[in-house]
Amino acid sequence: TDCPASIGTAVRFPSDWVSGFTGIRSYAQTGLHKGPSQLTLADLDAALIAAFLDDLQASRGTSARSRNVRLAAIHSFFRYAALEVPEHSGLIERVLAIPSKRYERAPIAYLTRVESEALLAAPDLSTWLGRRDRTLLLVALQTGLRVSELIGLRWQDVTLQTGAHVRCLGKGRKQRCTPLRKEAVSALRAWQREQAQGSSAIVFPSTRGGALSRDAVADLLKKHLAQARQQCPSLVEKDITPHGLRHSAAMALLHSGVDCAVIAMWLGHESMDTTQIYLHASLELKQQALDRTTPLSEARGRYRPDDALLAFLKSL
C-alpha cells in the first residue's frame, strides 16, 4: 500500500484503517471545504483529528470505547506514514500523542451454573430448531468459542472420539483446540446423526442449510433467555449477549480453580491481561481471598515447636 502525501481516493487503505477513517473525510470536507480527493496528509493535523473524535461522541453518541477503536486505527495509519513520509514527522508525532479516552468498564455479564442450566433447559427438544439451539448453546457455554468461531464450525473441525475436541481458527488466524466434556460430546453425536451430512458441512446450519449470522445467534439467545427467565428470576437483571456465553465459560473455569494462564490458552487470548478481567468480575473469588487473610483485630499467633519428647513419642 502506498502512502503518498495526498490521501484521496487513490489510496488503498488496509481494513483496520478503514474504521478509523470512516467519517473523517466528510468531517474534514465540512471543516476545510475540500473534497476527499483534495485532502493531503498535512490537512489531517492533531487539532482536526481531536475535533473529529470529540464530534463522534458529542454529535453521534459514540461511546468512549468506540472512539478509542477509531483512534487506534488512525494511530496505526500514522505510524506507517512516519516511515513513508518522514518530512511530516512533526505532524505525525502530534497525532500519535493524542491520548485514548478513559472510561469506566462495565461489569462483565455472565451466567452462573444455575442460570446456564436454566438457559439449556429452555429450547424445545421436540423441534429441529430447539435441538440445534440447545447443542449450540451447550458448546458455546462449555468451550467459550467466539461467535465467529462457533458459526464457522464444520464437522471436519470436530473430533468426538477419544480426546474429543473442537478445532477453530481464531483471531490472527491462530489455530487452537478446545476439549469437549462428555455432555457436549453426547449432544454433538446426536446432532451429527440427525444431520447426516459430509465432514465439510456446517455444524450449526440455518434452516436453509447455510451458516448462521451473528444476528441469528443473538436472536436465538434472546428468545431462549426470555423463556429461561420464567424459571430463573436472577436472569431478569442480566443482559446476556452471545459474547456473554464466552464470559460464562471463562468464569466457570475460574470458579473451578483453573489457572488464568490455562484460561488464556483455552480462550485463545493473545495477552494474559485480557484474561485478568475475569478475576475482577467475581465477588465470590474476592470473598474467598478475604477469608484467607487474618482480620486486623485478631492477634497473630507465634510458632512454637513441639516438645522434643512429645515429638519423639508421637513418631513411635
Residues classed as catalytic: 146, 171, 243, 246, 269, 278
Distance CA 222, CA 226 (A): 6
Burial 114-146 (b: 16+ CB within 10 A, else e): ebbebbbebbeeeeeeebbbbbbbbbbbbbbbb
Contact in structure between 204 and 158 (CB atoms under 8 Å):
no
Residue 301 CA from chain centroid, whole number: 46
| 48, burial (CB in 10 Å: exposed 0-12, middle 13-18, buried 19+) | middle
What is the helix (H) or strand (E) element at residue 168, kind and residue range?
Answer: strand 165-169
Look-up: residue for cell 456465553? 245
Q: Is 204 helix (H, G, I), strand (E, B) or coil?
A: coil
